[in-house]
Chains A and B, each alone.
Chain A
């Protein structure tokens, strides 16, 4: 039987011939979900292809520090607000906690995750707030600019705006409904280009 060159990504039984790893190969390596036979072929190629290796290393770092896509829910109950906030908070916890004691500040590849400095201040989680007096305040990151996000309880954005301040009053025209729950969080853009998010906090607009 003809031997398949180990460096080639071609195997008649496993996939098409390519000079470089496909997006499926690279993403499968990042997620650790490639079937073992395909993984063997891709690993052999990666060992001799600097371009594909660089792509894998970079993609793994980006995925490791990425914000998670917001999951849309079709219905919620009062308790669903807290559940959504808890889910967002869990999703924003750095993956480093699962890999052992690596501090965020010592690992330059960890970007876009919950940072120890920046944090929501008011409204505090689960607060009931007056629509007319709602004001967002957060702890600062040195040298950073920010983007405030206000979402509904399912995580769908209802308002976002950039700012260089650490306090913001939403415009009068923003429709926040009485008796309705929302979430808010802040993304900091640091001078070095990295980003960090606060954990999401919930609040409810008081009924009039």
Chain B
């Protein structure tokens, strides 16, 4: 276990109702600031956050703390981090139940989605105007060339490490800042993000050139 969580263990080990109630109070003493923080992060309105907090407490207590029992002491993360993830999901489910789904689900082929194609010019180099190819108006030869280029780009991306693929997606698909990416990928600074992005883009460009992709001209 990476982080001792005695308040959790005391709660899960409680054998009587009074022990459980006391242990629950101690658990809340330790973790309610964290639960509130998650609720406020999801619901910026104070009243909605408090409603969500009440919902969280109800769900966490449900079925003899079944959700908390799912945390494995041999797991890979700290209990507090795991709790944030679980509680965030509860908040999002609560919001969805109240207000409906916030945004449409994107397809699994996000890496070659429309938005990424707009940034492919940055990835592949100035000589390759993939925007023009992607937006071709239906000429069969141009469409074939576009399909081939897209396939080669997919292969080039898949040749990267999974870390670099995720890095490129966070930057060019999701539009995250370097500091946000550093936080998500646990890189020390934004400078490390830029350096790694630069290396990934150069690798992509080299891979495309090796596959004979030098120009958008058919």
Are both chains from one complex? yes
- Mark the stretch among B52-60, B128-136, B182-190, B206-214 that contacts chain A: B182-190
- Residue from the list B40, B77, B163 in contact with A28, Cβ < 8 A: B77
- Mark the stretch among B11-19, B102-110, B118-126, B138-146 that contacts chain A: B102-110
Shortest Cβ gap from A113 to chain B (Å): 11
Q: Is A163 an interface residue (CB 8 A)?
A: no
A23 to chain B: which residues have CB within 8 Å?
Answer: 70, 82, 85-86, 89
Interface size on A, residues (CB 8 A): 62
Known: A7-B108, A50-B105. A112 touches B78 (CB 8 A): no
Query: Are B84 and A59 in contact (CB-based, < 8 A)?
Result: yes
Q: Is B97 an interface residue (CB 8 A)?
A: no
Q: Which of B164-217 contact A (CB under 8 A)?
A: 165-166, 168-170, 173-174, 176, 179-180, 182-184, 186, 188-191
- Residue from the list B70, B80, B108 in contact with A49, Cβ < 8 A: B108
B163 to chain A: which residues have CB within 8 Å?
Answer: 43
Task: Name the residue among B7, B85, B163, B179 with the largest chain A CB count within 10 angstroms.
Answer: B85
Q: Is A68 an interface residue (CB 8 A)?
A: yes
Q: Is B20 an interface residue (CB 8 A)?
A: no
Q: A66-B80, A193-B49 are in contact. List 13 more A-B contacts (CB 8 A).
A: A28-B77, A47-B111, A50-B174, A51-B105, A53-B166, A57-B184, A58-B41, A59-B88, A60-B184, A62-B38, A69-B7, A69-B31, A100-B191
